[in-house]
Structure 1
């Protein structure tokens, strides 16, 4: 054993004797994250009570759902746009595929939502509907079954479009046109229903079919921005540097356009006007202005894209989209948009639980176990360490 190896072993043995060393051990990080996340959620419930905890948990869980649900269509479209090039997938596409492993995690953390439904959705307190179908649809059992169906389809799509780890490009096969169209179609239907069922339904005043597309555009923007922050640079003889700013700018423009169209089409409706009014105020207007500035900045930087510029914009996009997930949910309960301490605790709790649950769930679903190997990974790691 070399001197360095003996020193590392000694430091590991010393660290294992302390609480910080025990929980900072990479093998125990999932457990530490799970315990920390559970503590944050318990603290939020204890400090603020079930009435304030329920919308905070829903908004935080929506942030988690946005990562795999938003990564799915982006991964399909990026691969189909690059399908004619006979070369390995880029680090960005690989990272997007890695985010699909969070779909079963989001499904497991959705279990509290049916129990919190009486504190979230007005239809639980409304009189019984006149028709048998409406009575079945707006029932606790029907809501739970729909939630289960959404995630069965989403997990199936994630397994279908996530390449198995370590398989070469030729053996893994590309996404053909038929599977891509089918996957995007199913995801659009499921995402629209889920967004309306889980997010729009918190406010009984407002109903719009376009809301599902608006929510899915926000999910994809968040997922792509997060992937840009996580993905290493494309380095190596077999790698081609991808422009990551352009797809991010396109998604931001789509999301902003859907917001504008929905507001212009429904702004004259008193119910829709009250929905937007609850999301106004200083914080709401500040979020709108900041999001608009990000869209303009991303569009302008497509003329001179660069890795550092793209990561800079992506970091602010992640922050803005996380705030937008709360913007969709919490104003229906407090009358205005603001980030409360319970929202921060819930987001930290959901993130901790997700970090703790992801490794065991990956082992249960081998198709989502690991992203594929790509040339230049070691060179990219050395490049990042030097920086």
Structure 2
């Protein structure tokens, strides 16, 4: 029995906690709607990573094959099928865009060169197109394994749309700031989130081979996110452009400095140092523990990337906004898409890339 069985066995408890957190978030929104919406954006962006990341992993496996994909498909498929729910969860962000993004103010639109692109109707239209495409890709990848050609096209679609979506949803919260590496950081973080979830919930194999494969994928994802994050910081700091450097100033001061240290230390450095040791990679328990640390680190990293711009959002509201959609998503996953205890294919049955 894996941890996902526990969620499938008690989905109503998880949904109940999610509804309780959601009520608290709604009550906060009645008094401070803009603040609550900004907090909700952060939580939604984090939990969106799992269904779209699972979809991308399924497409990658359809293209390359391999033992690792056979082992985690029973986890990734139901997670990917929640992508339409994640798309519906974007409604507060789309409806309340004017309260979240500074560029939506008329006076800003008149003075900005990019006002033809950054406007609320265009933002909503692009978001709907992206979320519909991602939902279709998820349904295609999860219900049956697509052909390599279809999987390749799907990955190209994701690569293009993730750039637009990250620019709209996350990067534009900070006015006059832009980074070409930022969409790549978010994209790899989404894939890493799905790898971490699959590692945490996949059925342990007897020989530990798929566990070792997933540990290797965790290492690769950690290196990708960390490398791109450092490169972005070095390039912007060396460029010494005030608008670029200003993005980092609140993120390396006060409590956000602590969040950054925890995200890197707990969510990247510690799991990496553990996973490079072969006994850890071959142990389902320790690999799952490392995956859990990675997921906690990704949550802190998402907070650090987006939330410091919202100086009016208190920490307790951010915690509530992360918990509410997450618990509802986990409860829906356990209720509507229970874990299917499928045995991973044997090495002879799995296709190797």
TM-score with structure 2 setting the length: 0.81
Give the Cα–Cα distance (whole angstroms) in 2 for the partners of residues 262 and 190 of structure 1.
21
2:191 is equivalent to residue 191 of structure 1:
no
Could you say which structure has the greater relative contact order, defined with CA pairs below 8 angstroms and 6 or more residues apart? 2
In the alignment, structure 1 residue 112 sits paired with structure 2 residue 80: no
Partners of 2:291 and 2:334 in 1: CA distance: 26
- 2:46: which partner in 1? 63
**Cα distance in 2, alignment partners of residues 257 and 345 from structure 1:** 31
Matches within 5 A, 1:1-387: 28-29=12-13, 32-33=16-17, 35-45=19-29, 49-83=32-66, 90-125=70-105, 126-128=108-110, 134-163=114-143, 172=144, 174-235=145-206, 241-243=210-212, 244-267=214-237, 268=239, 269-281=241-253, 282-287=257-262, 289-290=264-265, 291-294=267-270, 296-298=272-274, 300-301=276-277, 305=281, 306-334=283-311, 340-355=315-330, 357=332, 374-375=342-343
Whole-Å separation in 2 of the counterparts to 1:145 and 1:254 = 31
- Between the aligned partners of 1:259 and 1:314, the Cα distance in structure 2 is 20
Q: Deviations over 1:316-347 (max 9, x none)?
A: 11111011111111101229xx9800011111
Deviation at 1:240, TM superposition (A): 6.1
Question: Number of residues paired by the alignment?
Answer: 328
Query: Match of 1:40, SS?
Result: helix
The worse-fitting range, judged by mean Cα deviation, of 113-122 and 186-195 is 113-122
2:351 maps to none
Structure 1 length normalisation: TM-score? 0.75
Deviations 1:334-362 (A, max 9, x none): 29xx98000111112112333455578x6
Runs (5+) with no aligned partner, structure 2:
1-7, 346-353
- Aligned-partner Cα distance in 2 for 1:50–1:241: 46
Alignment check: 8 A CA contact 1:70 1:222 kept: yes
In structure 1, the gaps of 5 or more residues are: 1-23, 164-171, 363-368, 378-387
